[in-house]
């Protein structure tokens, strides 16, 4: 790579993006450098606009450019069911299934001691406060669905939430994990197979 300070700075910043390795960051930097000035200006404007216009929804902590997000503002959604997700992007995946019509709560991560992320770093207290406020308002949330990843951090967070919400007269469930539809059993790993057996359903 050419030893140009501004170019190296751009590569460094792009490399900090999740999923972008050094080589990809370098390719992106060269692409930006080789395009017309108008593209760089549009990219800069888009980044500045999203940073200035998009903020956290005060209800569910997803991203929105309105006072509250469209899911919290939708009166047709069921208020008694609350789906807890790790990141705002998870909401889109759940919505695309068309199987859930309740409301959401975004934790903004999962408990991960190795990365210095504790329960206090997440929107867990906000979840507890939300449940309390809903109960006081006479519109209690009766079920909390944990839609967390099936990894160590997701399991740890799910157990912590289950313990935190214990005794609040709320049904706590977690999305099933197992063999994906259309997949071949021969290629399923042991952990996934174990989860599939644990989450088996009666026919």
Sheet (strand 103-106) strand order: 103-106, 81-85, 143-147, 171-174
63-182+191-196 carries CATH number 3.40.1360.10: yes
Tokens representing residue 150 in the block:
């099936």
For the whole model, what pTM was predicted? 0.86
Phi-psi region of 169 (alpha: psi -120 to 50; beta: other; left: phi over 0): left
Hey, where are the domains in the chain?
Answer: 5-53, 63-182+191-196
Confidence of residue 1 (pLDDT cuts 50, 70, 90): low
Contact 149, 163 (CB under 8 A): no
5-53: what fold? Helicase, Ruva Protein; domain 3 (1.10.8)
Taking 70 as the threshold, does the pLDDT of residue 128 lie above it? yes
Rounded average pLDDT over 153-180: 92
């Amino acid at each position: 790579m050419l030893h140009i300070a501004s170019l190296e700075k751009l590569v460094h910043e792009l490399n900090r993006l999740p999923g972008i390795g050094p080589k990809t960051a370098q390719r992106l930097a060269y692409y930006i450098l080789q395009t017309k000035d108008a593209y760089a200006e549009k990219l800069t404007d888009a980044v500045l606009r999203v940073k200035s216009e998009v903020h956290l929804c005060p209800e569910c902590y997803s991203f929105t450019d309105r006072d509250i997000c469209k899911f919290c503002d939708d009166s047709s959604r069921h208020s008694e069911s609350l789906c807890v997700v790790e990141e705002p992007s998870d909401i889109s995946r759940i919505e695309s299934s068309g199987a859930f019509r309740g409301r959401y709560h975004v934790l903004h991560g999962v408990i991960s001691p190795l990365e210095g992320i504790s329960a206090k770093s997440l929107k867990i207290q906000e979840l507890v406060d939300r449940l309390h406020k809903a109960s006081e308002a006479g519109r209690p949330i009766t079920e909390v669905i944990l839609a967390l990843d099936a990894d160590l951090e997701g399991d740890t967070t799910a157990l912590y939430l289950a313990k935190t919400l214990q005794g609040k007269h709320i049904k706590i469930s977690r999305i099933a994990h197992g063999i994906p539809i259309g997949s071949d059993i021969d290629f399923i790993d042991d952990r996934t197979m174990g989860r599939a057996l644990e989450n088996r359903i009666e026919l």
